[in-house]
């Protein structure tokens, strides 16, 4: 049972000191690999790991082909300014090969988990001689996995899986007692820019959590373009999270006076504090119309744009 540290209980300076010491003590004079996606959780872990281990921490951004537009370069550039060198590892082919033909949501998540941990990090750990992987699992990830809602890509121990046995390395999770609001507070205290610690959450399975049906490079490109528009138009709302989902069903539309059996994008925008429960943001109809206009004009093949008005539960934040 993991003991939660609530936002109210959290003493940032003390937490940072304890976690830095713990990482130092555990890793000793070996090296550790750090999985950075650029999201709030992994960015905070990167700064903790960097404080604890300095050059003995190798920070890896896995270019899995399912991230948002320009993400690898953006994340590497930002951390360079903070004194952290990020190695970008190109694993696009491996991820798309693993996802080929899979439509079941949990199988999709499992394919991503195996590719991340067994294939990519397994290889990097073997080649480097590292014994530890640092990652940003938080309490909500564990809760949802145990409750059987979603198998979060980064949860093992609580499912009875020993990473040492199956992947050949130990996983360190310094944020596991926190929820998103606590992680943001630590990010602030660690001196991360607000653009990082206030960033909207983004899931480990990345854009594939937003593609219903098979994940292909083409379908990812469609949802990536829609995501860029949604993030551009909704970043001023102060909402907890906003996203675009590509549906599998097609609908009859009209383009240039002809029938176009096209694709559908669903937009979701959430109010929440810790992602356990969420309600849809009451966006103005003007904003919704702008979203539809830009998506149908800028994303090829889309003939329908909808807005989700269902709270979580019974909805979840991501579609997969
Ligand atoms: P759901 O979709 O379960 O998402 O309501 C709750 C929050 O978690 C994020 N999410 C994930 N984060 N690994 C993660 O690190 C995952 O596998 C994963 N799946 C969902 C989601 O974006 C939301 O903020």
**Range name among 94-98, 153-157, 184-188 with the lowest pLDDT average:** 153-157
Structure tokens, 89: 């590892």
Global confidence as pTM: 0.94
| 319 in contact with ligand 1, CB cutoff 6 A | no
| 182 in contact with ligand 1, CB cutoff 6 A | no
Q: Which atom of ligand 1 is nearest to the CA of 39?
A: 15
What distance in angstroms lies between residue 183's CA and the mean position of ligand 1's atoms? 15
Instruction: Give buried/exposed letters for 169-190 (b at 16+ CB in 10 A, else e).
Output: bbbbbbbbbbbbebbbbbbbbb
More confident residue, 152 or 303: 303
What distance in angstroms lies between residue 25's CA and the mean position of ligand 1's atoms? 30
* Residue whose CA is at the smallest distance from ligand 1 atom 22: 203
Count of beta carbons in the 10 Å neighbourhood of residue 10: 18
| 59 in contact with ligand 1, CB cutoff 6 A | no
pLDDT at 263: 98
Q: Which atom of ligand 1 is nearest to the CA of 152?
A: 17
pLDDT at 144: 87
User: Measured between alpha carbons, how far is 142 from 293 in angstroms, rounded to an integer?
Assistant: 38
User: Does the pLDDT at position 1 exceed 90?
Assistant: no
Structure tokens, 60: 């890896």
CATH tag, 211-307: 3.30.300.10
User: Does the pLDDT at position 163 exceed 90?
Assistant: yes
Count of beta carbons in the 10 Å neighbourhood of residue 105: 18
* Residue whose CA is at the smallest distance from ligand 1 atom 13: 204
Torsion of the alpha carbons at 157, 312, 318 and 136, rounded to the nearest 10: -40
Q: Which atom of ligand 1 is nearest to the CA of 150?
A: 3
Count of beta carbons in the 10 Å neighbourhood of residue 194: 10
From residue 280, give the alpha-carbon distance in Å to each of 211, 245, 289, 307: 20, 15, 17, 9
Average pLDDT over residues 170-175: 97
pLDDT digits (tens, 9 = 90+) for 174-192: 999 999 999 999 999 999 9
252 forms beta bridges with 261
* Residue whose CA is at the smallest distance from ligand 1 atom 7: 275
pLDDT at 139: 95
Ligand 1 mutation target, pool 239, 273, 275, most atoms within 8 A of CB: 275
User: Measured between alpha carbons, how far is 292 from 229 in angstroms, rounded to an integer?
Assistant: 10
Average pLDDT over residues 236-252: 97
At 266, is the pLDDT very low, low, confident or very high (cuts 50, 70, 90)? very high
What distance in angstroms lies between residue 129's CA and the mean position of ligand 1's atoms? 31
- What residue ranges in the chain does DSSP mark as E strands? 32-35, 57-63, 86-90, 132-134, 170-172, 241-246, 251-255, 258-271, 279-280, 302-307
* Residue whose CA is at the smallest distance from ligand 1 atom 15: 204
At 38, is the pLDDT very low, low, confident or very high (cuts 50, 70, 90)? very high
| 315 in contact with ligand 1, CB cutoff 6 A | no
pLDDT digits (tens, 9 = 90+) for 107-127: 999 999 999 999 999 999 999
Query: What share of the chain has pLDDT > 70, as a percent?
Result: 100
Question: Is there a cis peptide before residue 314, judged by omega within 30 degrees of 0?
Answer: yes
Q: Which atom of ligand 1 is nearest to the CA of 151?
A: 17
CATH superfamily, domain 12-197, is HUPs (3.40.50.620)
| 209 in contact with ligand 1, CB cutoff 6 A | yes
* Residue among 100, 20, 5, 6 nearest 53 (CA): 20
| 316 in contact with ligand 1, CB cutoff 6 A | yes
pLDDT at 219: 98
Please list the residue range(s) of the chain that carry CATH number 3.30.300.10.
Answer: 211-307
Q: Which atom of ligand 1 is nearest to the CA of 205?
A: 17
pLDDT at 278: 98
pLDDT at 250: 97
For the stretch 118-121, contacts whose Cβ atoms lie closer than 8 Å and that sit 24 or more positions apart, written own/partner, are 118/166, 118/167, 119/91, 119/94, 120/62, 120/89, 120/91, 120/94, 121/33, 121/35, 121/60, 121/167, 121/169
At 129, is the pLDDT very low, low, confident or very high (cuts 50, 70, 90)? very high
What letter does residue 278 receive in the DSSP assignment? Answer: B
| 152 in contact with ligand 1, CB cutoff 6 A | yes
User: Measured between alpha carbons, how far is 65 from 221 in angstroms, rounded to an integer?
Assistant: 9
pLDDT at 156: 93
From residue 147, give the alpha-carbon distance in Å to each of 158, 257, 269: 11, 49, 24
* Residue whose CA is at the smallest distance from ligand 1 atom 17: 152
User: Does the pLDDT at position 153 exceed 90?
Assistant: no
| 272 in contact with ligand 1, CB cutoff 6 A | no
User: Measured between alpha carbons, how far is 92 from 85 in angstroms, rounded to an integer?
Assistant: 21
Please list the residue range(s) of the chain that carry CATH number 3.40.50.620.
Answer: 12-197
pLDDT at 274: 84
User: Does the pLDDT at position 57 exceed 90?
Assistant: yes
């Amino acid at each position: 049972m993991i003991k939660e540290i609530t936002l109210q209980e959290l003493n940032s300076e003390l937490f940072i000191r304890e976690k830095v010491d713990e990482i130092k003590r555990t890793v000793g004079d070996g090296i550790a690999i750090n999985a950075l996606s650029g999201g709030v959780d992994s960015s905070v872990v990167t700064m903790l790991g960097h404080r604890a281990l300095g050059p003995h921490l190798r920070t890896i951004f896995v270019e899995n082909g399912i991230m948002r537009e320009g993400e690898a370069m953006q994340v590497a550039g930002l951390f360079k300014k903070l004194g952290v060198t990020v190695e970008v590892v190109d694993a696009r082919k491996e991820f798309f090969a693993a996802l080929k033909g899979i439509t079941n949501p949990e199988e999709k998540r499992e394919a991503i988990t195996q590719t991340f941990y067994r294939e990519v990090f397994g290889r990097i750990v073997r080649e480097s001689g590292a014994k530890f992987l640092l990652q940003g699992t938080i309490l909500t990830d564990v809760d949802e996995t145990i409750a059987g809602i979603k198998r979060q890509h980064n949860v093992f121990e609580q499912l009875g899986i020993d990473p040492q046995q199956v992947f050949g390395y130990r996983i360190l999770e310094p944020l596991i007692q926190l929820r998103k609001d606590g992680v943001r507070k630590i990010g602030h205290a660690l001196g991360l820019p607000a653009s990082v610690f206030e960033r909207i959450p983004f899931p480990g399975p990345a854009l594939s959590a937003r593609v219903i049906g098979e994940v292909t490079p083409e379908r990812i490109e469609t949802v990536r373009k829609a995501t860029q528009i949604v993030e551009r138009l909704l970043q001023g709302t102060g909402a907890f999270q906003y996203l675009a989902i590509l549906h599998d069903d097609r609908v009859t539309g009209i383009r240039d006076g002809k029938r176009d059996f096209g694709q559908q994008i669903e937009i979701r925008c959430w109010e929440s504090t810790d992602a356990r429960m969420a309600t849809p943001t009451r966006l103005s109809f003007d904003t919704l119309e702008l979203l539809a206009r830009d998506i149908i004009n800028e994303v090829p093949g889309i003939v329908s744009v909808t807005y989700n008005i269902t709270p979580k539960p019974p909805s979840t934040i991501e579609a997969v």
